[in-house]
Amino acid sequence: MSLSFIHDETPTEEVDRREAVVAGLADSVRALVDATIRTTVDDDEVRAVQAEVAALTERLRAAQLPGPAGVRYNSEGRSWSWGNAVVGSSNAVAPPLEVQHAGDGRTSYAEVVLGAAYEGPPGMVHGGVSALLLDQVMGETASANNSRIAMTGTLTLRYRHPLPLGPVRLDCQVTKDADGKITVQATIGENLPDATPAVEASGLFVVPRWAR
Amino acid sequence: MSLSFIHDETPTEEVDRREAVVAGLADSVRALVDATIRTTVDDDEVRAVQAEVAALTERLRAAQLPGPAGVRYNSEGRSWSWGNAVVGSSNAVAPPLEVQHAGDGRTSYAEVVLGAAYEGPPGMVHGGVSALLLDQVMGETASANNSRIAMTGTLTLRYRHPLPLGPVRLDCQVTKDADGKITVQATIGENLPDATPAVEASGLFVVPRWAR
């Protein structure tokens, strides 16, 4: 199966400008998601807010893409995936994560604050959310910061202890890279100097034959 | 580390009534999340909608919980976790998944439609989203539909082929259950009669010592 990346000749300057605008909206929608979980206002007020949310949705749908955002690139080498479930700047499901890649391209890290929307056990980050974030960081690092395509082959996660909601940090490194197969190790834990990893991950990422 | 489940003596009838109200709002917020990703309306209109979203958030925050929703239960045996990242009915990050448990308590399945907010590779479900959903279904099944506490110990995922956005199905079964350690197998794939699994998962779930 091939994947449809979209060649989009929007100039980088215009991409950056538009991204700031939609990212601003997505930030506000993230706050609305949090408030929807935590609100204790009365039923009538919840219903009144719901009607207004629906009206705003219709305004945004006045002109829209026919489907998901996809992954786009232009001839200047800029690529963007604003809809990505982890890093997408226009996607309010995404925290969003900003992955920091080291100069050698083999290590990376990310810091983010996870709030009420990412809960599993009471007060704790959902174990599947840790898997979701780790998969993205590991995939990006395996793909050398998106300079090649690397798909998840296998992913193994060891859960050492529960991870409280709040500031978390992910660390990642490529430990082997040969013949289109890339082995990656990563952790997620509390963002504290002396924190031990809550979850340890090991993954094998594969450059598809059609993309080598 | 212990977990703080909240004893909340709201009568079941009132819990059900309130859940329907907040679930309605969350459904509308999900549509707004989708529209935020896909909209192509001009910058001024995006900014105007953003201001209105912020105002609605303030209305919901007029009265709210101090933190995440947590997991609650009452003396009638009703438990609820409306903020859960996968199944929470008030959480617009959650699809939400509704896990169907078989009578024997050892098997379960779930069907859901995944839209633009769950994208990873272009047009495809994010590999980490598959992991997120699988972890929840497997954890719920290991916990015998929440009749005991079971935490993820290890989770291994094998990615067989990309999974297109759209209708998906998860299937899960407990294959071993002894001494507080539960082995669970699960798959996710397209919701078609002849579909082969896109991702196969194997997990070891553990009943914490303090909860045995």
Please check the confidence at residue B211 and state whether its pLDDT lies above 80.
Answer: no
The arithmetic mean of pLDDT across residues A169-189, rounded, is: 96
Cα–Cα distance measured from residue A140 to residue A134, given in angstroms and rounded to the nearest whole number: 10
Q: Residue B142 — pLDDT band, cuts 50, 70, 90?
A: very high
What band does B1 get if pLDDT is binned at 50, 70 and 90?
A: low
Question: A54 falls in which pLDDT band (50, 70, 90)?
Answer: very high
Return the SS3 of B46.
Answer: helix
Arithmetic mean of pLDDT, A99-128 = 94
Digit-coded pLDDT (tens) for A77-102: 899 999 999 999 999 999 999 999 98
* Residues A59-71, mean pLDDT to the nearest whole number: 97
CB A41 within 8 A of CB B90: no
- Please check the confidence at residue A1 and state whether its pLDDT lies above 60: no
Q: Sort residue A160 into left (φ over 0), alpha (ψ -120 to 50) or beta.
A: alpha
Confidence of residue A64 (pLDDT cuts 50, 70, 90): very high
Is it the case that residue A110 has pLDDT exceeding 60?
yes
Mutate to test the interface with B, among A2, A41, A124, A132 (most CBs of B within 10 A): A132
User: CB-side exposure of A84: number of CA atoms within 13 Å?
Assistant: 26
Distance from CA of A103 to the nearest CA of B (A): 25
Rounded to two decimals, the pTM is 0.96
Q: Are B136 and B99 in contact (CB under 8 A)?
A: yes
Beta-carbon separation of A39 and B69 below 8 A = no
Q: Please check the confidence at residue A154 and state whether its pLDDT lies above 80.
A: yes
pLDDT, residue B3, reads 77
User: How far apart are alpha carbons A69 and B157 in whole angstroms?
Assistant: 26
Mean pLDDT of B129-140: 97
Average pLDDT, chain B: 95
Whether A182 shows a pLDDT value over 70: the answer reads: yes
pLDDT computed for residue B103 by the predictor? 78
Q: Do A92 and B165 touch (CB under 8 A)?
A: no
Residue A170 contacts B, CB cutoff 8 Å: no
Judged by average pLDDT, the poorest of A73-77, A97-101, A103-107, A176-180 is A103-107
Nearest to B185 by CA among B80, B103, B109, B118: B109
Query: According to the model, what pLDDT value does residue A118 have?
Result: 98
> Rounded mean pLDDT of chain A?
95
Whole-number pLDDT of residue B2: 63
Residues of A in contact with B152 (CB under 8 A): 127, 157, 159
Question: What is the average per-residue pLDDT within B175-187?
Answer: 95
A32 touches chain B (CB under 8 A): yes
Identify the band that residue B24 occupies on the pLDDT scale cut at 50, 70 and 90. Answer: very high
Q: B192 in contact with A at a CB cutoff of 8 Å?
A: no
Q: Which residue matches tokens 């590991």? A: A138
Mean pLDDT of B103-108: 86
What is the mean predicted confidence (pLDDT) over A116-135? 97
Give the side-chain half-sphere CA count within 13 A for A83: 28
Q: Which residue of B has its CA nearest to A57?
A: B32
Give the list of residues 6+ apart from residue A20 with CB closer than 8 angstroms, or none: none
SS3 A7: strand
Using CA coordinates, name the residue in chain A closest to B120. Answer: A84
pLDDT score for A126: 97
pLDDT given for residue A129 in this prediction: 98
Q: What is the pLDDT of residue B5?
A: 87
Quote the CA–CA distance of B77 and B88 in Å, as a whole number: 18
pLDDT at B208: 84
Verify whether the Cβ–Cβ distance A3 to B64 is below 8 Å: no
Task: Specify the pLDDT at position A208.
Answer: 83
In chain A, which residue's Cα lies nearest the Cα of B205? A159
Distance from the Cα of A125 to chain B's closest Cα (Å) equals 9
| Best residue in A10, A29, A89 for a mutation probing chain B (most B CBs within 10 Å) | A29
pLDDT of B49 higher than 90 = yes
User: What are the structure tokens assigned to A147, written together?
Assistant: 């300079």
Q: A residues 69-108 near B, CB within 8 Å?
A: 69-71, 81-86, 88, 90-93
Least confident of A8-22, B119-133, B136-150: B136-150
Q: Give the residue from chain B lying closest to A56, CA to CA.
A: B49
